[in-house]
Structure 1
Amino acid sequence: MHRAPPACRVFYTVNENPRSPMRNRTWILLLIVMAPQMGLSLVNPANSTIAADLGAPLGRVEATLTAYMAGYALSMFASGTLADRFDARRLQSLGLALFALGGLLAAVAPSVAALGAGRFLQALGGTSATVLCRIIVQRHYPASARVGVLASMSMVISLTPALSPLAGGVLSQFAPWRALFLLTAAFALALIPAIELALRPAPPERPALPSPGEVGRALAQALRDRGFRRYACCICLVWMTYFGFIQSSSTLLQHHLGQSALAYGALMAVPALGYLAGSVMVKRAASVGAAVARAVRLGAAGLAATVGAAYLMPPPLALVLCLALAFVGVGAVIPYAQAGLLGLDVEYAGLTAGFFFFLQMASGALYSALLGALHPGTATALLWAVVLPQGVLTAAFALSRLRGPGV
């Protein structure tokens, strides 16, 4: 791996003024990127209750997260492509409206299949924030400010899964699981007026939908670019581990380790805080490359501790502390890879960004589907499967360091 490209490369920048009013409205972008993470994790503490209520195995309810991630992947590609033609701000409002509709459908779902369809629709709309908010950053923020904004977004993305399961666990003690889906819908609907009134339009410089031939050339250009392949591999591998854990967490913590919904929510906050710590390291670092290197080393120690815990089976809190240390590496690698993507000189920035995040989310969906198909029968086997992708990246990082300095 190599150092992220210089931050001076700028492409879709509508406003280059470092004192741009947009810099005072970053909080809106941070609220927007919370929505897909709430949809992913708020309801998880109630998975066992949902399974009992709908008369389905816990594994089938967990599989609705794979449906969510499949919608996430498709949303990445579609939103990135549409952003090359239309205003990213308006697309974001429409995406949140679709997210709210999916939440309403999930709230009234009579079966696991209907629940999965609602969650798929949620993801198809709301998760467009992953691409569109970053495109808004690219079009409105000076290059020197982007890494900080992206790191702040990554911190919120990591903090939301830390707090959402805890909030969901508390709410599930006195509210039905269907009310949790209604809460996600209400949150998304409340954001739409804020987006339309407080954010400036973010149109592309040269509005045009790419033709099929241009799409093919853009994807081929991305795949030929060594930097794109490097950043895509980094983000896919760490996401496979992080989402693999989220998707299988009910089985691990509730089924294998016997934790209640409230305890599950509290325990899930711990690994997410490790992710947050990695993002903070990158945000505050004078040298991004050095910060990522330190975070990956800490993550390697966490991976080793998690593997040891897989055999010793310490108390659940000790286990999630090991995972938290491992996820320091995840939290640092993700904003590093995203910032590297924004520095690539490509013809269709929106399409390329959509393809990049499509690969990230598709890798998470496919890996979680593989875990579901293999159905590791023990907590030890499940933990091994979860940490394997990040272990591959850590090994590649160590090999690159042996060959020469730099991330």
Structure 2
Amino acid sequence: MTTATPKAARSTEGPGLVILLGALIGFGPLSIDMYLPAFPSIAQSLHASAGEVERTLATFFAGLALGQLFSGPVSDRFGRTKPLYVGLSLYVLGSIGCALSPSAGVLAACRFAQALGGSVGMVSSRAIVRDLHSGAAAARMMSRLVLVMGLAPILAPLLGGWVLDQSGWRAIFWSHAVIGVIALGAVFAILPETAPPRSGPSQPFRSMVRIVRQPDFLGYALAVALSQAGMFAYIGGSPFVFITLHGVTPGNFGWFFGANAAGLVLVSQLNHRLLAGSSPEQVLRWSLRVAALAGLALVGVVVTGLGGLWGIAVALFVFVSSLGAITPNATALAMEHQAKQAGIASAVLGALQFMLAAGASAAVSASHDGTARPMALGVATTALLALGALVLARRAAPPPKEGTPAVESPAPTRP
């Protein structure tokens, strides 16, 4: 027995690894939510329109989508840690570029680079959990990560509003660079290599195409991706709706945003209890119905004006909270038959989510008309389409009978 084995065991079981992996998965929400309160300030500083600033969010989504497609196969081929070093370094450089941006166009380009780097951490974290655990143990590990990464959308807008008040919007991106450097140091110090370099699929992108052609995977993947796209339609439009239209201060906007994120985290924990007596498909079906009803209610509030700010806030709270049950169940159902290619399937699932998120965010910014209608229509449309995608998945591959035990894949062999 070598002396490296106890060290690896301590590194992969301690709270430090859980915090690190949760933080790496949370890079996306952190990088998005922290600068949302600064949208009006960025527009004024760079002499840009609200739509131009919102497009910097769409380019970030596009970078996350493309980055995951590439980083998944690369992580399988070269191991987990080396791609993380490259990705986190790119994230730091992109953050510095954002802080120094002289125009909205340059900011959008640097946000794209920042997203490419951050996407590596998101893909690698899920892969590392699968390297170390399988079956119920992997599910428990992911539940612990949800609690850690769930803090990002709660605290990020509050922290962003505080940094904005104290030092201006450019300081937000300087703080991103500092966070990236800290994460890079933590990866170097405590993260062992869980998947040594090996030969991966000779044609990984052809494997991705085969996965997408599977109707059950595509139906459930679209259900989760469209639901996430609705959330990002809300993320892209909410700063204008809350701060500009309804006069909410950047600091108070963080409380509205944080309350929605807290609802999502609470429902994700409630989901564990619901699954004790119901199948994932049953919980998913009801959750998608709730999301669709909340989206329609949001449109009604915006069109009629009934309820004003609080009517909008309540409808959004219900919609975002429902994602706490939609995301884990739809993801589990989509991945159910992908044990032999879980890494590539995870990359496809993540990329699809952010591709649709980029489209939803771009649509909201392109249809900007000085009202809350673009955001409300984006949320409602994606929620209804997600419900339709579930119908496609159920017709393509009926879920297994209740009580049928899931077959756990064997844990990976490690030297």
In structure 2, the CA distance between the partners of 1:363 and 1:46, relative to structure 1 (3 Å rule), is same
Say whether the 8 Å CA contact 1:296–1:328 is kept in structure 2: no
Q: Contact 1:243 / 1:368 at 8 angstroms: preserved in 2?
A: yes
**1:3-402 superposed matches below 5 A:** 22-24=12-14, 25-203=17-195, 207-211=198-202, 214-284=203-273, 285-286=275-276, 289=280, 291-293=283-285, 295-310=287-302, 311-345=304-338, 348-394=341-387, 397=390
Give secondary structure in 2 for the equivalent of 1:127: helix
When the two chains are superposed, the root-mean-square deviation of aligned CA atoms in Å is 2.8
> What number of residue pairs does the alignment pair up?
387
Instruction: Supply the distance in 1 between the matched residues of 2:395 and 2:353 (Cα, whole angstroms).
Output: 27
Distance 1:405 1:76, change over 3 A: closer
Gaps of 5+ in 2: 403-415
- Once the two structures are aligned, what percentage of the paired residues are identical? 27
TM-aligned CA deviation for residue 308 of structure 1: 3.3
- Aligned partners of 2:148 and 2:255: how far apart in 1? 18
Q: Are the structure 2 counterparts of residues 141 and 400 from structure 1 closer, same or farther at C-alpha, using a change threshold of 3 Å?
A: closer
User: Structure 2 length normalisation: TM-score?
Assistant: 0.84
Q: Deviations over 1:100-148 (max 9, x none)?
A: 1111111111111111121111100012222111011111112212223
Which residue does the alignment assign to 1:11?
Answer: none
Deviation at 1:283, TM superposition (A): 4.2
2:167 partner SS:
coil
**CA pair 375-201 structure 1, distance change in 2 beyond 3 A:** same
Query: Deviation of residue 342 (structure 1)?
Result: 4.4
Residue 381 and residue 36 in structure 1: after superposition, are their counterparts in 2 closer, same or farther (change >3 A)? closer
8 Å Cα contact 1:281/1:291 also seen in 2: no
Provide, for residues 361-380 of structure 1, a one-character-per-residue CA deviation record: whole Å limited to 9, x for no partner.
11111222122223355223
Q: How far apart are residue 291 of structure 1 and its match?
A: 4.4
Report which stretch shifted further, 352-361 or 233-242. Answer: 352-361
Task: Indicate how the Cα distance of structure 1 residues 154 and 334 shifts in structure 2: closer, same or farther if over 3 A, else same.
Answer: farther
Change (3 A) 1:221 1:401: closer
**Gap runs ≥5 in structure 1:** 1-14
Q: How far has the Cα of 1:79 moved from its partner?
A: 0.7
CA distance in 1, matches of 2:109, 2:199: 31
Q: Is the 8 A contact 1:150 1:339 kept in 2?
A: no
1:252–1:336 Cα change, 3 Å: same
Question: How far apart are 1:239 and its partner, in Å?
Answer: 1.2
Q: Which runs of 4+ in 1 moved over 6 A?
A: 398-407
